[in-house]
A and B are shown apart, each in its own frame.
Chain A
Amino acid sequence: MRDSDAYSVASRDIVFESFDGEAVVLNLANGKYFGFSDSGSRVWQALSSGVDARTLIGLNAGGSTLGAAELEHFISQLLELGLLVPSEAAARPLPGELPAELAATSEPLTVSTHDDLADLIIVDPIHEVEEPLGWPAVKQAS
Chain B
Amino acid sequence: MPRVTLETLPDYARYLITAAEEAATHYPATRTVRLPRLELTAHVAPGVLADALGDAFVEAEDDLAEPSTCRIFTVHPGIGGIPEPAQWGDAHFTEYGFAERLAGAGLRGHYFHDLDFWQVYDPERHIGVQLMTSPDAFPPWEPTAPLRAFLHWEYAARGMRLTHAGTLGANGKGVLLAGAGGAGKSGTVAAGLLNGLDSVGDDYVLIDLAGGVTARPLFSTLKQDPQGFARLGLKQRLRIESPLNWQGKHTFHIADIAPRPVPAALDIVALVVPHIGGGEMSSIVPVSRRDAMIALAPSGIMQMPGERESGFRFFGDLTRQLPSYRLSLGTHPEEIAGTLADFLTRVVS
Contacting pair A117 B298 (CB below 8 A): yes
Chain A hits for B15, CB < 8 A: none
Contacting pair A26 B301 (CB below 8 A): yes
Contacting pair A26 B298 (CB below 8 A): yes
A24-B293, A114-B294 as given contacts; A17 in contact with B92, CB under 8 Å: no
Determine which of B88, B91, B247, B305 lies in contact with A126 in the assembled complex, contact meaning CB atoms within 8 Å: B305
- Chain B positions 302-322 with a Cβ under 8 Å from a chain A Cβ: 302-303, 305, 308-309, 312-313, 316, 319-320
Contacting pair A135 B90 (CB below 8 A): yes
Q: How far is the CA of A123 from the CA of B291 in the complex (A)?
A: 24
Contacting pair A19 B320 (CB below 8 A): yes
Contacting pair A125 B313 (CB below 8 A): no
Check: B106 CB closer than 8 A to any chain A CB: no
Q: Interface residues of B toward A: which range?
A: 35 or more
A17-B316, A19-B320, A23-B290 as given contacts; A116 in contact with B180, CB under 8 Å: yes
Contacting pair A26 B297 (CB below 8 A): yes
CB distance from A88 to the nearest CB of B (A): 25
Contacting pair B302 A19 (CB below 8 A): no
- Chain B positions 40-91 with a Cβ under 8 Å from a chain A Cβ: 88, 90-91
Chain A hits for B289, CB < 8 A: 19-20, 22
Check: A29 CB closer than 8 A to any chain B CB: yes
A28-B309, A29-B96 as given contacts; A135 in contact with B180, CB under 8 Å: no
A31-B298, A135-B113 as given contacts; A17 in contact with B91, CB under 8 Å: no
Chain B hits for A30, CB < 8 A: 96
Which secondary structure dominates chain A's binding surface?
loop
Chain B hits for A26, CB < 8 A: 297-298, 301, 312
CB distance from B115 to the nearest CB of A (A): 11
Check: A90 CB closer than 8 A to any chain B CB: no
Check: A124 CB closer than 8 A to any chain B CB: yes
Q: How far is the CA of A84 from the CA of B48 in the complex (A)?
A: 48
Which residue of chain B is the closest to A131 with respect to CB atoms? B92
Chain B hits for A12, CB < 8 A: 309
Which A residues fall within an 8 A CB radius of B? 12-13, 15, 17, 19-20, 22-24, 26, 28-31, 33, 35, 114, 116-117, 119-121, 123-127, 129, 131, 133-136
CB distance from A111 to the nearest CB of B (A): 13
Q: How far is the CA of A69 from the CA of B58 in the complex (A)?
A: 58
Q: How far is the CA of A24 from the CA of B299 in the complex (A)?
A: 14
Q: How far is the CA of A133 from the CA of B95 in the complex (A)?
A: 16
Q: How far is the CA of A114 from the CA of B294 in the complex (A)?
A: 9
Contacting pair B141 A125 (CB below 8 A): yes
B270-295, CB under 8 A of A: which get 1 and which 0?
00000000000000000011110110
Contacting pair A129 B302 (CB below 8 A): no
Contacting pair A19 B90 (CB below 8 A): no
Determine which of A13, A33, A123 lies in contact with B294 in the assembled complex, contact meaning CB atoms within 8 Å: A33
Pairs A–B under 8 Å by Cβ, sample size 25: A13-B96, A15-B313, A17-B293, A17-B316, A19-B293, A23-B290, A24-B293, A26-B297, A28-B301, A29-B94, A30-B96, A33-B297, A35-B291, A114-B294, A117-B299, A117-B302, A120-B302, A121-B302, A125-B110, A126-B95, A127-B113, A129-B93, A131-B92, A134-B92, A136-B113
Contacting pair B88 A124 (CB below 8 A): no
Q: How far is the CA of A13 from the CA of B309 in the complex (A)?
A: 8
Q: How far is the CA of A15 from the CA of B247 in the complex (A)?
A: 32
Q: How far is the CA of A31 from the CA of B106 in the complex (A)?
A: 23
Determine which of A35, A124, A136 lies in contact with B141 in the assembled complex, contact meaning CB atoms within 8 Å: A124
